[in-house]
Amino acid sequence: MSTTNKTNKGQKRSVNQSSSPATTPSLLSNYKFWLASCLIIVVISFAIQRQTIDKTNKTATEKERLFTSDELRTYTKDELYLAILGHVFNVSSAPRFYSSTGGYKFYTGRDASRSFHTGKSTEEDLTDDLTGLNDEAVASVYDWLAFYQKQYPQIGKLIGRYFDANGAPTKHFQNVLVSVDHMKKKEEEKATFEQKWPPCNSEWSHDTGRRVWCTDKSGGVQRTWIGFPRRYFDSSLKTERCVCVQNSDKQDGRFKEYDNCLSTSNECRLPD
């Protein structure tokens, strides 16, 4: 005990003795400087972190109120809420559509995602279940979600098919995004294809039957050439359609000539 005390005292004394009056204030101020710097850095980083957390929580509480379907069901009278793909919107500002006398009242108080595809309010369409719909149909529902996000305040999420009890997106919502992505890719591919092989004009009359023909803007594709109508079978859509091909594509096996039509004609008449 006494030895330790002695050593401590000795050390203290030696430190005190070694620091000359000239160097003590500079050492002390250095130490104060670093301490102050560290404190400031710590305080600032905490403040930034705090701000980020506050921001996240604010948007979370503003946009992430979680509804059960029973709760949502009550908002069809004074306050009008609807859900689409699990996103809840306040549509109270448009009673002409959504109040009990509005033409689209069947959308309120529930997630009737499927009926945004058909526009119908039949029992089988008043569901959030999109099972069996193709990518195009799913993407059309997603377009309505985008419409509501632009047009109305989003006030929360619906716990169920598209969001779990923590407000996290479910597998079903991920699948919707996958469908939307597929559709976007298909549309891009279609646009690229149509630049090269634009659709023909087409008309039908009782007297003359169907006629297909190419112009330098048929299919809405403005171009410097006109082209020749050809039958094209779209394997992804599993349908045949008429496209306009240039001379250089005449040997391309995907494009078949129409019966009884000159390969150099800009127009073909089809038998019924």
Ligand X SMILES: *[C@@H]1O[C@H](CO)[C@@H](O)[C@H](O)[C@H]1NC(C)=O
Contact flags string 56-75 toward ligand X, x per CB under 6 A: xx------------------
104 in contact with ligand HEM (CB under 6 A)? yes
Residue 261 in the binding site for ligand HEM (CB under 6 A): no
Extract the runs of DSSP E, i.e. beta strands, from the chain: 65-67, 81-84, 87-90, 154-158, 201-205, 209-213, 228-234, 239-245, 255-256, 267-270
Backbone φ and ψ for 113, nearest 5 degrees, come out as -50, -45
**Cα–Cα distance for residue pair 58/45, rounded to 1 Å:** 20
* Residue 163 burial (CB count, 10 A): 24
User: Would you give the end-to-end CA distance of the chain in angstroms?
Assistant: 114
- By CB under 6 A, is residue 154 in contact with ligand X? no
CB of 97 to ligand HEM, least distance (A): 4
Contact call for residue 47 and ligand X (CB under 6 A): no
What distance in Å separates the CA atoms of residue 151 and residue 215, rounded to the nearest whole number?
40
Closest contact distance (angstroms) between CB of 72 and ligand HEM is 17
Residue in the block written with tokens 């959030």: 128
Whichever of 163 and 232 has its CB closer to ligand X, that residue is 163
How many residues line the site for ligand X (CB under 6 A)? 8
CB of 253 to ligand X, least distance (A): 59
Chain centroid, CA 196 distance in Å: 29
For ligand HEM (CB under 6 A), the number of binding residues is 7
Given 35, 41, 42, 53, the residue binding ligand X (CB under 6 A): 53
Q: Which does 116 bind (CB under 5 to 8 A by kind): ligand X, ligand HEM, none?
A: ligand HEM
Quick check: helix, strand or coil at residue 12? Answer: helix
Judged by CB under 6 A, does residue 119 bind ligand HEM?
A: yes
Contact with ligand X (CB under 6 A): which of 51, 68, 93, 149? 93
Binding region for ligand HEM (CB under 6 A): 94, 97, 104, 116, 118-119, 151
